[in-house]
Structure 1
Amino acid sequence: MKIVCLGILLGVAGAAAAATPAPVAPRLEEMALTVTPAHPREYIFSDKGAAHLAGECVGENSRSYHGFYVAMHEVVDGWTLRLEDGTELGPATVTEAIVTPDRLVRRHTLPSGEVVTETVTLFDRENGFKVGYDGIPGGRFAFRPRIDMRFLWKVSRPGYDVRWEDGTLLACRTDRVGEAPDPAHPAWLAIAAAGVSGFQAAPEYLDRTYPKGVARKAMDKASPWVPGDLVGHIPPRIPSGRLEVFFAADVDAAAAAARARRLREQQVDLAAARSERLQQLVDDSAITTGVPRDDIALAWTRVSLDNLVMNQRGPGIYAGFYWFTTYWGRDTFITLPGACITSGQFAEAETLLRSFATFQDTDPASARQGRVPNFVTVDQVQYASIDGTWWFVRALDELWRQAGDDAFAAEMAPVVFRAVDGALAHAVDGEHFLTHGDGETWMDGGGEAHPYSPRGNRAVEVQALWHRGLLTAARLAARFPDVPGARADYADLAARLATNFHARFWDGERLVDHLNVDGSQDTQLRPNTLLAVLASPTLFDAPQRAAITAAAADLVRPWGVQSLAASDPFFHPKHLDLANYYYDEAYHNGDVWLWLSGAAVSALNDPREGFGQTRMLLDEALDEGAVGTIQEIRDGAQAARNDEFGGATSQAWSLAEVLRNVVQDYAGLRVDLTAAPPLIEVRPSVPAAWPDLAVRTRIGEHPCLLAPGADERGPALWFPDAVPDAWRFRWIGPDGAARAGRLEIDTDAPAGWNHRVRWD
């Protein structure tokens, strides 16, 4: 990867300010990553609506999941361009690909040594994309699209209705011709090309086998269909020519054709709008470290996470690409702090929480009364998760503290009160523990019917989440006593739960994973004790945190956090070892889960000790797996390469936890606008590799810039304008001593940041 030192600082005056650069995110073009056939990598683009485009940067599609999709339904499998001399520009001719957040550029080297450049651009919320070629040699050419209209998890060879009308190729499955329009699943594809003279029908199915599917023995075959060739001619007098092809999906043939024409007419503006949106995204939540490579990795992490924030029949966050392109509750709620809250995108966070809250089970007779769903699609609402609801409450609490939006908190208070009521009525035992089935925690491989990692009936992180939920309910009830459903005993319940928790969950110096149905302690070494600290930090003091992280040290490896200790007889060293076991057995019995690195860092009394986990994840985004993103899992045993393990290729919570760690743990920003008085605390734990760490976010309605290791005056916390007088500032120094701060006008501040907190 080529790294360019930005050397860009906001304008400053004075020597002290010059030592504290304001975060200026990399430009999109500076984020370019190069892929060659020696190390193939995947690309994934989404359009912020319901469409995404994915494939191999170089080489043939390696998954049936590659292609252009709208709402889990594939539309286009791929394409090639054949030249007059018979050369087919496709995977075999790509010698280099360059990926930026807004486009994919492939360079095809011809036998003559000439280079044809192919540029792929997805447009935002348009159900369409463009493929452009520059440098085409003179003579005839034929553009050959591959169509595969099917649901994500189905293999079929449907018939197709194909039409060539007014210079546009139109295609639809024969079984969908004439059906009622469904905007969520557009039936028609239009392909319009500038520079094409006609269409030559040559229909055929291509039976494909996909190596990454073969490795999983799942979705390893498909039969994309070629309708024929869009043909044209580059006059010999022109040294090299251009071809632009536009793909568009819509509800009927006329609408699809019109959309394709509009994409062609508005392509410059549409491409610019997408680029500007992505640049604004990384600018508004800029993180700089003083290390250009890491700045680029963090910017890619932000972009790839945003790739998963979609609007498929309403706003939501995909759990991951490729087979989790729906909204999962638990994943969404764990993702929200890193995706939206620590970056100051409060409105988006509120929208996402509200959308799940509307599906809460409010039936008093239901065993799942009060639960927020773990899975929502147009066809299904599923509540099979004991912890999802309490991750929801934890996300709400984090949002309320940093945004300070009492109106939204009051709106959500009844949701929290109902959740507590449902738990007390149906799931809380005599010791105030929250009980559940074997497969109802996040370690749910095999489901409730055949759990591979049974953790019933009182998991450690579930109790911590329940504790956090009760404390949040207590604060909501105190702030909004007139909201229906409030109780007066939430804090008392939390205190009794905490007492029983510490009496029953400790085995000497070690916190246990769960209590069995018979009340015995399960002593398998799992990382859920780290999640317990993340879920409810106030449940543990510093010595207890030290004991928890020391006990978990055997799980925290340089390649990630294992889901089960390697010394356990049930440990599975590889995710994919189908000769010996089905891969779901390994998911939570050895597999490394990359999102757990976030909890491992946060549980430490000194987060700097966990920086190796963050470094490992940023290296993956730049160098391994799909371009610019982070996977779901790795093998439990260290692998020679970290490109592919059979899990999700891009996972929301893996990405989000990196960003949350940077803001909350390394920069040390902790906000509680719900406190009396509101408190903004800075407790830096800046890694030695990042002496110039600086982050940009929002506190309430106010943008802020934090450089935690700024200068001799202490952490620099800047605001562009005055903040409420009631706010209090506190800096916890390396020695643990607290110092108060006050906001003053700073004449040496970076441009636009006129007020800085001065520490006593």
Structure 2
Amino acid sequence: MTRTLCLLFTSLLIAAHAMAVEIPAYTEEYLDSMSIDIAPGSERPYVYSGYGDAFFYGTMADERTAGHMGFYWGEFKLFNDFMIKIGPTWLFRSDAKVSFKPYEIVFCWDSGTVLRVQPLFREMNYLRFKLEGVSDDAGTCFYLLCADPAISANYTEDFQLIHSRQQTTDSLWFGLASLGGEFHYMNRPKPSEDRAPTLAAYMDGPFDLVFIYAPSEEIFHRELDYIQAHPEEGVQNWKDWLLDEINISYFRCDNERINHALNWAKISLAQLWAENNTALWAGLPWFNDCWGRDTFISFAGACLVQGKFDQAKALLERFAKWQCKDRDDPNWGRIPNRARFGDISYNTADGTPWFVKGVYDYGLYSGDFDLWEEFIAEGGAVRIATEGTLKYHTDSLGFLTHGEAETWMDAVGPDGPWSPRGNRAVEVQALWEEQLRTSHAILKTFDQTAYLMGHRWDRARIKLGSSFVRSFVRSDSLGLYDHLNSDGTPDEMIRPNQLFVLSLWNKAFEDTERESIINTVRSECIYSYGVASLAQIDPDFHPYHQHVMYPKDEAYHMGVVWTWLSGAYKSAVKGGWTITSSEIDQILDLDAPGTLSELLDAVPREGVGFPRPSGTVSQAWSLAEFIRVWYQDYIGLNQYGSILPKIPEAWGSFNTILNIRGGKIWYSVDIKDEQVSIKLESLNRTGDSLFVTLFVDLRREPYEHHPDRIPIIFDGTDDGFQAELARDGKFITFLRPNGKEYRYQLFLDDESPSDFLQPAVPVGLKALQLPAHRLLTGTEIKASDADAVPAIDIADDENDDMGDGGYIYPTSPEFKPGIFDITRLRISADDQNIFFKLNFRNLTQPGWHPEYGFQLTYVAICLQTGKGETSRDVGHNSGWTLPEDLAADRFVIVGGGIQVENSSGEILCEYKPADPKYAFGNPRSNEIAFAIPREYLPGDPKSWKITLLVGAQDDHGGAGIGEFREVGVTAERWKGGGGGAGKSNVYDWLRYPKE
């Protein structure tokens, strides 16, 4: 039966007959066409991850180039890297041409040898290593360099199995087996001086091996049997999954490079899902856990615009369960900032409003309003989120108040937040307004009896709006203040956070005010490749993320480009294709192929044309915002069902599937020089109606109140909609029913890199200035002690690293037993230097900072040299007070660097590690060794009194020397246990002379 279209522009109707469209889909062949081909010697990293709990972070270099590289199962690293030998010759990856595909990475050598590394099964991410192109008698060896000591190893002619016990789990089982051909194990549990075993196999020629893991030996054997019986199923499973990921929100334009970039972004974001698609990791390799803020900033791009409504609901329900339900707790109603591996913290002010926005948008996109009803009921997640904020976190002006590090700019160092923004940040107020508005909308939909509550929420929103304009609008025409300090004074730093006011709080400003905000941020913070976190002209601007002059977290939010921020800019201006084009280049040509990093340096390094990527190599909100803008701003479908396209001309014509109200719409735009043809057709097979509007946003401009801007309405019937519109440059034109011409800007404004801030390092930046004290060099720290005379040699008992007797290490497997257990101290001296050698029962090197040589151990050597004023306070979060007779005048602090301080805490000299060649820790010998020039440590060492304290190092994730890590009452992933109020954070100590 022919249905009548509800079309107000009847003159645009060309065809009102059924246009049966086959649902489009990419095929397996397309996955091969997505190959990113990389020349030899690139040394780029790469990532493969399914949606379980495992991922592989590898490298195209000969050896791993970052400590985080390796294969992880949850929080446990199982192996670091793999190596291959053919006969007597090592097979160097850097000599190979590389093809990186969604389902495999292929290394091709000029000799004809080919290595394929393939992830298997989307839920598990096992790995297959397949070597081809070698003779049957070549003699090949394959090595997996494991990451942890093995308790036992089982070697057979069919497989090698490692059984490894960890601190927080009974056991891990993982191993290597053959999927075809001869397999000979090589029993090498301790190659060279490595502590971890090597899984090593010898084959006569080509090989086909699989790496699998399991929580028990029984499951290991069951999985192995299945894979050996179905060797190709794992790869096919992976391909099918990725095709589903790119086809659910199918997009294809005339430019295949653009298509590849978008589809790679979808695939890489899909690989950040975890726990069977119910959790979204923030980023890889080190944010493989759930962050509330990151999850719900990513929510629209990762779920809603792609039509992943089941996954969206799972995320909302997961975080609702984690929400603080205690009415007497100041965190009442908050969702956690971070939750995984038994660690839940609520230190986020913006995570909860992002969550509430996610609930609201989920209902509009999916058409599933049952969750609204559940979450707005008494005790429901949305209700207590809003009530909790009103009760505990609002001031007399209606602002949402928060701590200094409770916004997304949350980096903290030993002395507190690096970028304090308490207690009223600009974007937090925009989010709070959005939370009040959407909470009230949900309440009115399902609970008419809660009139007084809704009225109170609405009055709070109105008060907030009035206060915001009075307090945040700058009188110097530079947009908005970034935040209000706790004393009410505004912070005048120019940051991009004010952009969120435009994308979230659309009605807050007139056009002139909007332009002031946009122009200020664009001229001060926005490069052609991304958005800086601080104005380039600010004296506290940090141009690089990692630099020898400061720990990287100091720069984290003080200038560095955050990829995800470009989404707020693009949405505010309805454009930004120049930045998107740069992100396309980043996805296809830079760093880890197929994805977007967390950060970029703000300014390119000297002699390099593009900023260096930094942070995680694959970040959820970077990818999600890239995808969200694609569908919400360029294609133009918002959560209200309005299609407001602003199309990049680089696309040419395009077809896509739009997901709205739980249904699918086929949307086709055919672009010619003088005409644009638009087609819409429902792909639903249920007969349910879908209503969307074209060219006007009904939420903000109801068409009955704007007769000059009447929308086209498509009701989703089988008849579909088709129109041919005259093109006039960037605009399309057509006639209204009254005969007057209507113009709509369909295409983005032209941009060029010169329209944006030009990167430069301003002269005299504080961050790049040398400190007042002397910086020691690597050569000085590693000076030879060949002529040194021994002065002190003192031993300490093993296994006494328990503080006052009951201290427990943090539960993360990175904290290896014995790394806080000092066993020996030796001091020697020559005419120039004092030499220190500290031995421990164990040292560990996760590899995060190879320039240190070790990590997670922290030492304070308190010296009473008899030369100068003394102090009993060790500081550095040690919680330790020296006895009067051991008060010190010099303190040598050893962690992510070395510092010598006097009794006033003044730094006399310092070593800032930069080159692994001068690493001062050695896990193989369990020794930390370094030299300090004598001028900083006076007197004869034999006459010194020494107190040496050892604990866990805490650099707060941002490098630098750090401080003693807290020992709480109960051990957690990154906090020790057995301590608490009034106790120190020291696990072990020794004194000289001995007590």
Aligning the two structures, in what range does the TM-score lie when normalised by the shorter sequence? 0.7 to 0.9
Alignment correspondent of 1:106? 107
What is the CA–CA distance in structure 1 between the aligned matches of 2:414 and 2:682, rounded to whole Å?
50
Q: Give CA deviations for 1:530-557 in whole Å, capped at 9, x if unaligned.
A: 1232333343444332221111112111
**Aligned match of 2:89 in 87, 109, 125?**
87
1:339-369: CA deviation from partner (whole Å, max 9, x where unpaired): 1101111111010111011011121221111
Match of 1:227 in 2: 198
Residue 286 (structure 1) shift: 1.6
- Matched with 1:617 is 583
Residue by residue over 1:597-655, the C-alpha shift from the partner in whole angstroms, topping out at 9 and shown as x without a partner, is: 00010011xx23x1111111111000001010000011122342558543111100000
TM superposition shift of 1:732 = 3.1
Measure the CA separation in 2 of the matches of 1:617 and 1:541.
31
Structure 2 match to 1:37: 40
Amino acid at match of 1:741: I
1:170 and 2:134 correspond: no
Q: Please list, as runs of the form range in 1=range in 2, the aligned pairs for 1:519-534 lying within 5 A after superposition.
A: 519-534=488-503
2:599 to 619, 630, 633: 633
**Distance change in 2, residues 1:353/1:447 (3 Å):** farther
Following superposition, the deviation at residue 729 of structure 1 comes to 2.3
CA distance in 2, matches of 1:270, 1:120: 9
Q: Shift of residue 684 of structure 1?
A: 1.4
Question: In structure 2, do the counterparts of structure 1 residues 647 and 700 end up closer, same or farther at CA, with 3 Å as the change threshold?
Answer: same
Cα distance in 2, alignment partners of residues 228 and 372 from structure 1: 43
Tell me which amino acid in the other structure corresponds to 1:565.
Answer: A
TM-score normalised to structure 2 length: 0.65
Q: In structure 1, how many angstroms separate the alpha carbons of the residues matched to 2:32 and 2:119?
A: 14
Pick from 322, 326, 332 the counterpart of residue 285 of structure 2: 322
Q: Does 1:196 align with 2:163?
A: no
Q: CA-to-partner distance for each residue in 1:79-111, whole Å, 9 max, x for gaps? A: 233223x1222425x4211111111111134xx
| Aligned 8 A contact 2:679 2:722 in 1 | no
Quick one: distance in 2 between partners of 1:140 and 1:65? 33
Query: Structure 1 residue aligned with 2:142, among 141, 144, 156?
Result: 144
Q: Does 1:311 align with 2:275?
A: yes
Alpha-carbon offset, residue 255 of structure 1? 2.8
Q: 1:295 corresponds to which residue?
A: 259
Distance 1:228 1:746, change over 3 A: closer
Give the Cα separation in 2 of the matches to 1:747 and 1:706: 10
Q: CA 1:165/1:670 → structure 2, altered by over 3 Å: closer, same or farther?
A: same
In structure 2, the residue matched to 1:7 is none
Instruction: Return the match for 2:550 from 569, 573, 581.
Output: 581
- Alignment CA distance shift 1:730-1:21 (3 Å): same
Return the offset for 1:487.
3.6
Displacement after TM superposition at 1:507 (Å): 0.7
Report the alpha carbon displacement of residue 445 of structure 1 after superposing the two structures with TM: 1.0
Cα distance change, pair 448–115 in 1 and its aligned pair in 2 (3 A): closer
Matched residues in 1 for 2:421 and 2:511: separation? 27
Q: Which one is further off, 187-196 or 625-634?
A: 187-196
Residue 134 of structure 1: which of 132, 135, 138 is its match? 132
Between the aligned partners of 1:492 and 1:710, the Cα distance in structure 2 is 48
Indicate conservation of the 8 Å contact 1:188/1:252, yes or no. no
Q: Secondary structure at the match of 1:499?
A: helix
How far residue 68 of structure 1 moved from its aligned partner, in angstroms, is 1.6
SS of aligned partner of 1:718: strand
| Aligned partner (choices 104, 113, 118) of residue 115 of structure 1 | 113
Cα 1:449–1:87 shift into 2, 3 Å: same
Cα distance between partner residues in 2 of 1:595 and 1:689? 22
Aligned counterpart in structure 1 of residue 505 of structure 2, from 533, 536, 541:
536
| 1:555 paired residue number | 525
Q: Partners in 2 of 1:424 and 1:308 — Cα distance?
A: 34
What runs of 5+ residues in structure 1 fail to find an aligned partner?
Answer: 1-12, 151-157, 208-222, 235-241, 673-679, 751-757
* Greater mean alpha carbon deviation, residues 160-169 or residues 284-293: 160-169
Letter in 2 for 1:96: K
Larger deviation, residues 51-60 vs 587-596: 51-60
Aligned-partner Cα distance in 1 for 2:192–2:26: 44
Amino acid of the structure 2 residue aligned with 1:203: P
**Is the contact between residue 75 and residue 189 of structure 1 (CA under 8 Å) also seen in structure 2?**
no
Which one of 329, 333, 349 corresponds to residue 312 of structure 2? 349
Cα separation, 2, equivalents of 1:694 and 1:544: 36
Report how far residue 257 of structure 1 moved. 3.2
Q: Distance in 1 between matches of 2:33 and 2:679?
A: 27
Within 5 Å, give how 1:380-391 maps onto structure 2: 380-391=343-354
Q: Which amino acid aligns with 1:168?
A: F
Larger Rg: 2
Q: How does 1:345-744 map to 2 (within 5 A)?
A: 345-413=308-376, 414-446=380-412, 450-481=416-447, 487-508=454-475, 509=477, 510-553=479-522, 554-578=524-548, 580-604=549-573, 607-608=574-575, 610-639=576-605, 640=608, 642=610, 644-672=612-640, 680-707=641-668, 712=675, 715-721=678-684, 727=691, 729-732=693-696, 737-743=709-715
Deviation of the 1:78 alpha carbon: 2.6
| Closer/same/farther in 2, CA of residues 268 and 334 from structure 1, 3 Å limit | same
Deviation of the 1:421 alpha carbon: 1.3
- Answer 1 or 2: higher relative contact order, Cα 8 Å, separation at least 6: 1
The answer on whether the counterparts of 1:573 and 1:591 sit within 8 Å (CA) in structure 2 is yes
Which residue identity does 1:74 align to in structure 2?
K
Q: Secondary structure at 2:664's aligned position in 1?
A: strand
- The answer to whether the 8 Å contact 2:714/2:721 transfers is no
Equivalent-residue separation in structure 2 for 1:95 and 1:499 (angstroms):
63
Q: How many residues align?
A: 689
What's the CA shift for 1:374? 0.9
Query: Do the aligned partners of residues 637 and 409 (structure 1) sit closer, same or farther apart at CA in structure 2, a change above 3 Å counting?
Result: same
Identity of aligned residues (%): 27
Show the counterpart of 1:97: 98
Measured in 1, the distance between the counterparts of 2:70 and 2:432 equals 42
Of 60, 70, 78, the match for 2:73: 70
* Distance in 2, Cα, partners of 1:506 & 1:448: 34
Q: Distance in 1 between matches of 2:169 and 2:652?
A: 60
SS at match of 2:494: coil
- What residue identity is the alignment partner of 1:620? Q
In the alignment, what sits opposite 1:754? none
TM-score (normalizing by structure 1)? 0.84
What's the CA shift for 1:130? 1.0
- Offset at 1:30? 1.0
The C-alpha deviation readout for 1:57-82, integer Å capped at 9, x for no partner, is: 34322122222211021112232332
The CA distance in 2 between the partners of 1:512 and 1:71, in whole Å, is 41
Q: Secondary structure, in 3 states, of the residue corresponding to 1:561?
A: strand
Q: CA deviation at 1:724?
A: 5.6
Contact 2:413 2:553 in 1 (8 A): no
> Could you say what secondary structure the match of 2:536 adopts?
coil
